[in-house]
A = this chain, B = another copy of it.
Amino acid sequence: MDYRFSNRIASLQPSMIREILKATSGKDVIPFSAGNPSPETFPVEAIRSFTGAILENDPVAALQYGITEGYEPLRDKLKQHLLTRFGAGKDFDNLFIVSGAQQGIELACKVLCNEGDAIICESPSFIGSLNSFRSSGARLVGVPMESDGINVDKLEQALKTEKNVKLIYLIPNFQNPTGATTSLEKRKAIYALAKQYGVMILEDNPYGELRFKGEDIPSIKSMDDEGLVIYVGSFSKVLSAGLRVGYVLAPEAVMQKMVVAKQGEDVHTTMLSQLLAYKFMTEYDYDGHIKHIRAVYLRKCKLMTDSLDGFMAGKVTFNSPEGGLFLWCDLPKSVVMLDYCKKAAEKGVAVVPGTAFLVDEGDPCNAIRLNFSTPSDEQIVRGIEILSTVRP
């Protein structure tokens, strides 16, 4: 049989990172390439006890079909949380549960974009989102990322010149892969441009709770007086990634369409995961747990930057993120990136070349993304020491 695939899928490649992960899984490789939360941050005891209680007291709710919008007490709790914690949510907004933030991102594209419509993305950006947009047949327009967020002049340029722009996709806090945080000024400017050009913003905030330095900056959703912003959040980095629970706060009309599209994808999100997330939000010391996670990542980030200073001073430059899971590390311009990553892998350290995250992989980029949440403390020090011996 000669299989012929749809246009939107035929040209897609598996994510370079997930392929690297698969190739190195089970092997004794130091994983600077992943984006996994540290297992130290999983509240295992609480999850065990909550799960036991759910299956003891309410097994049918956990095991039966649920409604597509999600478990109502969890939805209500999250609406309240987003409003008090991030000032996000107006009367015209509503919230529903998705199977991880990834689904929220995919649904936003599905309901707003016809094939060939454009999505403006930070470049580099999260490869999972870029590939998801591609698999919906959207056309990606990259705008360069800077240390304080997207280049606003070039964003305006793109809004002026590109046809059928339907979304601006942003990760304002501790961006994946750069670790950069968008400044308050830029958030305001971006919102104003979105309003001026009548384009919606997709605000992806998986790392918002992981600030270990500096002060919170208001979410773009908190500025949303006109119903322009679709806000996506996740339990993956605060409770567990494997449970696959995220949520979307969006204007009611947009949410309704996203819910219909979700029905056709997976009917609803795993009920046991939703009930667990609800107990986590209501019966656990949520604030104390977030404090614990921040302390873990502050320690791991500092260990990595200290190791870079110790082993590779003068050879690389890197940002100092205020939160999240990633460092963005520039190598000398002479380095051939794929060679470098291959040699590092041979020596036992997995890193992802920055090019993997570009909207156009042909653009110049001499950086690697370094993840400090997945490796153990010992692996962080040892891995940077090994990287310092890689001769490209």
Contacts and interface: CB of A to CB of B under 8 A. Distances in A.
A99 interface: yes
Report the 3 A-B pairs with minimum CB-CB distance, sorted nearest first: A132-B264, A242-B271, A63-B240
A55 B48 contact: yes
6 contacts: A18-B263, A36-B65, A47-B55, A64-B241, A131-B260, A243-B271
Copies in the complex: 2
Contact of A3 (B35, B253, B259): B253
A6 B63 contact: no
A296 B9 CA distance: 43
A42 B61 CA distance: 11
A100 B47 contact: no
Nearest to A14: B260
Interface string A51-66: 1100110011111111
A261 B39 contact: no
Interface residues of A, number: 89
Nearest to A113: B6
A102 B22 CA distance: 26
Nearest to A254: B3
A44 B102 CA distance: 31
Contacts of A21: 67
A244 interface: yes
A134 B243 CA distance: 29
A324 B115 CA distance: 39
Interface string A121-145: 0000000100111111000000000
A267 B42 contact: no
Contacts of A113: 6
